[in-house]
Amino acid sequence: MKPVRTTCPYCGVGCGVKATPGVGRAVTIEGDAAHPANEGRLCSKGTHLGETVGLEGRLLHPAIGGKRASWDKALDLVARTFARTIKEHGPDSVAFYVSGQLLTEDYYVANKLMKGFIGSGNIDTNSRLCMSSAVAGHIRAFGEDVVPATYADLDEADLIVLVGSNTAWCHPIVYQRIQAARRQRGTKLVVVDPRRTETCEDADLHLAIRPGTDVALMNGLLAHCRDQGLIDEAFLGQSVSVPDGFWDGLADRDLWSTAGTCDVAPADLRRFFDLFAANPRTITLFSQGINQSIRGTDQVNAIVNVHLATGRIGKPGAAPFSITGQPNAMGGREVGGLASTLAAHMDFAPGNVDLVRQFWSAPAMAAKPGLKAVDLFRELGRGKIKALWIMATNPAVSMPDAGAVRDALSACPFVVVSDCMVRTDTLAYAHVALPASAWGEKDGTVTNSERRISRQRPVFANPGEARPDWWIISEVARRMGWKSPFAYDRPADIYREHARLSTYRNNGRRLFDIGHHGAISNPDYDALEPFCWGGTPFADGRFPTGDGRARLVSVRQMELADPLVQWPFTLNTGRYRDQWHTMTRTGLSARLSAHRREPLVEIHPDDAADLGIADSGFARLITAQGESVFRVQLSDGQRHGEAFVPIHWTDQQSTGGRTGRLPRPLVDPFSGQPGFKSTPLRIEPL
């Protein structure tokens, strides 16, 4: 059979895949050499994609109260219960919690239903946990959530700085591209990460900074640039607003004080500063180590400040570059699928609300942001949210303080879960379970970390009674009385509407504009080649703010408290190379599972000796939220007082090593993103 050109679902790199169907659910996977994101390369997760598409563990039929039901009965019940709840308690008594696993078309329809027809901003997404601090930082600096780089910039950079990113494991094809640039161009590589990870092995310099000191590091770098005469005064004068007192805020940031705050050797810091000074073509690539912090937005702006002040933006090989975790976090950002955004990169400014109301002919337009993820589940626990629809995500495991999330789900009068898998911890709380299409059946578009829109195309027919998410949401909307606004026959109908909204009364105010696809034909949509929207953002020195100027944002390093006696350690969480999220799909592959067979807590050998714990022994990890038992792996790549655990294992998969109950639910004040990297912790030997 002919290969189907589609896109890998296992991270935000968004690699092109050629999938050749065989007998039954068999499929042969190879990298798509014509896809610009990966040029034929695949990492282990992409290579073994075919081992994760079997029907074992699939949710194949709708269910009410755990018993199989017809689609009609299930959809009627969802529509009726949401309508009654809204009538009795108002639109803000219901919520959707969605996912960066959804395709853009699914996301668009969910956002339209909640914000335009139900009339609430209460739709948030698991992308809140992943990159919402980057969104907030971009909006503060640029006026719009625009990622200013593409992967091609990595090929043209002379210096790449990776901050808070184990790129070798979490975005492997980006890392391979960086390694290729190093071989071909001699690109220098600096890694800033409290942990010594696999990403550091090939680096020219690893700065193992004290956790939470990224603002001090970047402010120190900026002060150094100023002292060395590296500020691009012409660019600042023409294109950037500098707030009063901005430079005064850097007064205490000399090399020595910065090295002291960050707990790194002054000579190493000097080397980093010198590399930065010598290489104007710099990409600073950052990921969850920056975003998943209670100061995440400030940390993003500290990075962006350096690039704006030195004019390293809008040019080949020079930009700050946020890399997303999920395959379609960016598509969700484009449709406005965060509670804090409206649609098509617009916020809730009154003019935008009117614009979208008019475009959708919306009867009940939301006029204010809704509840962000952590607040949403908190209000669920308080009984304020009375009907919740969860799509393609597993918050009973992945939210911070997941034990409290489980209690809230138990107490909620009506929980709907759309998913492709049966054995998710969240599905156990569903009053109504709806079987959704999975990768290989889905049909639509995704946007990767570099703003590249690509097609996901079906390889198989939907199994059992599984249906696409956009169809499920539209069916519920129609049964709630909104027939014609949700009369979509195919994903292309939704994509065209999304494209038209991106350009509707835009007049160049926003960079997100794919309006030329508003009339794309069905065959052209089917054949759509991957493309990046936005060109080279800010190349003309203009930014999508009211006055066309970017903004430097004054950010200060916060005081870091010493650990409390009862919580002498800090818990850090992250990924393993070969697993994805809560392992509901990648856990099906024996080869992927062979990389790490069990979850381990990594701690420094000296800490282990103090605790009386041997390598491969067991330890109990205790936080204010919960506790779990892990096998111990000694690692001198860990800083003293730090413990690292993977996020993947759940109650369904293991009796120990369950991370979800441990992290605290504190969030960044601007983005609402939880600070997963810094939960106070106690470790006890077993």
Residues lying near ligand SF4 in the complex (CB under 6 A) are found at 8, 10-11, 13-15, 38, 42-43, 45-46, 171-173
The residues with which 685 forms a beta bridge, in sequence order, are 619
Q: Are 164 and 290 in contact (CB under 8 A)?
A: yes
Closer to ligand SF4 by Cβ: residue 13 or 420: 13
- Taking the complex as a whole, the smallest distance from the CB of residue 37 to ligand SF4 amounts, in Å, to 7
Phi and psi at residue 316, to the nearest 5°: -60, 135
Q: How far is the CB of 325 from ligand SF4 (least distance, A)?
A: 10
Residue 129 or 294 with smaller CB distance to ligand SF4: 129
Q: Which two tokens stand for residue 516?
A: 């030329």
Compute φ and ψ for 667, nearest 5 degrees: -130, 160
User: What residues are paired with 571 via a beta bridge?
Assistant: 643, 679
Find the residue with minimal CB distance to ligand SF4. Answer: 46
Nearest to 130 by CA among 375, 385, 400, 343: 400
Q: How far is the CB of 400 from ligand SF4 (least distance, A)?
A: 24
Which residues lie across from 391 on neighbouring strands? 418
Closest distance to ligand SF4 from the beta carbon of 289 (Å): 18
CB of 649 to ligand SF4, least distance (A): 19
- Compare residues 11 and 412 and give the one whose CB is closer to ligand SF4: 11
How many helices (H) and strands (E) the chain has is answered by 23, 26
Q: Rounded distance, CA 662 to CA 575, Å?
A: 15
What's the min distance (Å) between Cβ of 168 and ligand SF4?
Answer: 11
**Smallest distance, ligand SF4 to C-beta of residue 438, A:** 15
Question: What is the C-alpha separation between 186 and 184, in angstroms, rounded?
Answer: 6
Provide the minimum distance between the beta carbon of 172 and ligand SF4 in the complex, in angstroms, as a whole number.
Answer: 5
CA of 41: how far to CAs of 31, 46, 149, 488, 589, in Å? Answer: 5, 9, 20, 35, 20
Report the SS3 class of residue 4.
Answer: strand
**Closer CB to ligand SF4, residue 38 or residue 653?**
38
Distance CA 410, CA 510 (A): 42
The token duo for 620 is 């109990």
Yes or no: say if 552 and 243 are a contact pair by the CB < 8 Å rule.
Answer: yes
Nearer to ligand SF4, 38 or 678 (CB): 38
When the beta carbons of 172 and 369 are compared against ligand SF4, the nearer one is 172
Q: For ligand SF4, which is the closer residue by CB, 586 or 625?
A: 586
> What is each CA distance from 473 to 357, 469, 497, in whole angstroms?
19, 6, 16
Tokens encoding 115: 């914000």
Stated length of the chain: 686
Cα 401 from Cα 20, distance rounded (Å)? 42
Helix pair angle (104-112, 469-479), 10° resolution: 20
Q: How far apart are CA 62 and CA 465, in angstroms?
A: 8
Alpha carbons 273 and 254: distance in angstroms, whole number: 11
Which residue's CB is nearer to ligand SF4, number 14 or number 119? 14
Kindly tell me which of 647 and 662 has the beta carbon lying closer to ligand SF4: 647
Cα distances from 292 to residues 131, 186, 396, 433, 559, in angstroms, run 8, 31, 18, 31, 18
Judged by CB, which is closer to ligand SF4: 42, or 472?
A: 42
3-state secondary structure (DSSP) of residue 574: strand
Which is nearer to ligand SF4, 131 or 309 (by Cβ)?
131
| Smallest distance, ligand SF4 to C-beta of residue 12, A | 7
CB of residue 10 to ligand SF4, shortest distance in Å: 3
Least distance between ligand SF4 and beta carbon 230 (Å): 34
Give the list of residues 6+ apart from residue 244 with CB closer than 8 angstroms, or none.
none
Nearer to ligand SF4, 15 or 433 (CB): 15
Minimum distance of ligand SF4 from residue 101's CB (angstroms): 13
Question: How far is the C-alpha of 372 from the C-alpha of 309, rounded, in Å?
Answer: 32
